Amino acid sequence: MSVFTRSQAEREAALLPELAELTAHHRANSAGYERILASLGFAPDAAFATIADLPWLPVRMFKTHDLKSIPDAEVFKTLTSSGTTGAGASRIYLDKEAAGAQTKQLGATLQEVLGGERLPMLMVDTIGIIKNRRSFSARGAGVLGMANFGRKHTYVLDENDKPDVEAVRKFLAEYGDKPFLIFGFTFMVWQYLYEVAREHKLDLSNGILIHSGGWKKLIDRAVDNSEFRRRFKEDTGLTRIHNYYGMIEQIGTVFLEGPSGNSLYCPDFADVVIRDPETWEEQPVGKPGVIEVVSTLPRSYPGHVLLTEDLGVCNGIDDGDWPGKHFSVLGRLPKAEARGCSDTFQGAAA
C-alpha cells in the first residue's frame, strides 16, 4: 500500500492532531523536553492551528542532551550518529515498539519504488564496512539497514576498497536481465559504480538505484543531480534513480525523490516546513530557508518536529509526481548560523 497518497490539506488534517498529541506525550514523559517548552513559553494546554505552529527542536540538541520519553529499563536500542561536525554524536533511544515501527515505515516508503519483493542487490561499498562492529559508523548502519531490502548481496568494492569489476560482471550476468536493487552513498555510487560501468560498458538498465549522502564532492566535479541522472542514463542505461533525505534523529522517516527527479517527497506520516532563518516564519514556495522535518514516528524520544542544519526550498505543493509538498536540499547552513538556531534552547534544557 502506498505511503505517498495524502494531499497537503489531508496531511495537515490527519497529522496535526497526532503531532499535538505527541508533543503532549513527550512533555509528560521527558523532563528535559518539558523544561525546553516551558522556557519557550508553550503552555501545557497550548493549541496549534497548523503543523508550522508546533514547537521544534534544533537537531543538534540530541548531540548535547539526553532526551528520551521512555524509562531506562525500556531502552531496546541506542543509535548514535557519526558526529562528524565536531559537536559529538547524537544519541537516539528506541524501545521495541519504536524500533519495529521505524523498520516497518522505512520498508513501506521504499516499497513505493522497489515493489513488494526483495530484489538481488548491488551494494556500492565494501563488506568491511559492516564487519568491523567496533568502529561501526553511520555509513555502516546505513548499509546494514538497506541490506534488509535486498537478497543475493554483492559488494562493488573488495576488501581493499578497490572496485571488484569481475564481481559486478558476474552479478549482472546472473541477475541483470530483471529488476535489481543498487544502494550506496552518492559520491561512492558515482566514483565506484558510474565511472567503472562507463569504462567497462556495463548495462545497468534494469537497476533501481537508491542513494543518499552529501553532494559536496560531486559539486566540486561539476556534477549536480540533473547531470548525475543524465550521465547514468546515457552511459549505463540506468533511469530509475531515487535520492533520499533522512537523518538518524528521525530514524525510519525518509523523504524520497520522485521518478522525475530533483524533488523530494514526504511520506504520508511526515511533512516538511521551510523556515525563514531570520523570522522563523514558514517560507512560501520557491523561497529558500532552513528545513524542518516533521514525523509522527518518534514516540520514544521527542524527535517529531526537528529543525535541521540544512537549507532547502519547497518546489511546489500537490503538483508533482506524488501529492503533498516536494522540496530540494540546497546544502548545509554555515556553522555559525546553525549554532545560532539552537542558542535559544541551550539555557532552556540545562
Task: State the pLDDT at residue 138.
Answer: 61
**Type of residue numbered 311:** L
Show pLDDT as tens, one digit a residue, over the chain (350 residues): 889 999 999 999 999 999 999 999 999 999 999 999 999 899 888 899 999 999 999 998 888 888 999 998 998 888 787 655 445 788 888 888 988 898 889 989 999 999 888 999 999 987 766 665 544 556 666 676 787 888 999 999 888 888 999 999 999 999 999 999 999 988 889 989 999 999 999 999 999 999 987 667 777 777 888 899 999 999 999 999 999 998 888 988 999 999 998 899 999 999 999 999 999 999 999 999 999 999 999 999 999 999 999 999 999 999 999 999 999 998 888 765 555 444 544 444 43
250-288: per-residue pLDDT in tens?
A: 988 999 999 998 899 999 999 999 999 999 999 999 999
Strands 264-265 and 77-80: unpaired
Q: Read off the pLDDT of residues 132-172 as tens digits, 9 standing for 90 and up.
A: 554 455 666 667 678 788 899 999 988 888 899 999 999 99
Cβ contact 112:3 at 8 Å: yes
| CATH numbers and ranges of domains, the chain | 8-92+256-332 (3.40.50.12780), 104-245 (3.40.50)
DSSP state of 118: P
What pLDDT score does 158 carry?
87
Residue 146 three-state SS? helix
The answer to whether the beta carbons of residues 11 and 271 sit under 8 Å apart is yes
C-alpha cell at 2: 502506498
Q: Find, among 27, 47, 51, the residue nearest to 39 by Cα.
A: 27
Q: How far apart are the first and last CA of the chain?
A: 44
To the question of pTM greater than 0.85 for the whole model, the response is yes
Looking at the DSSP bridge assignments, the partners of residue 163 are 157
Given CA atoms 78, 83, 87, 88 in this order, what sign does their dihedral have? positive
Give the span between the Cα atoms of 141 and 241, in whole angstroms: 21
Nearest to 12 by CA among 47, 41, 48: 48
Contact 262, 294 (CB under 8 A): no
- Closest Cα partner for 324 from 285, 297, 290? 285
**What gap in Å lies between CA 204 and CA 187, rounded to an integer?**
18
Q: Largest alpha-carbon pair distance within the chain?
A: 64
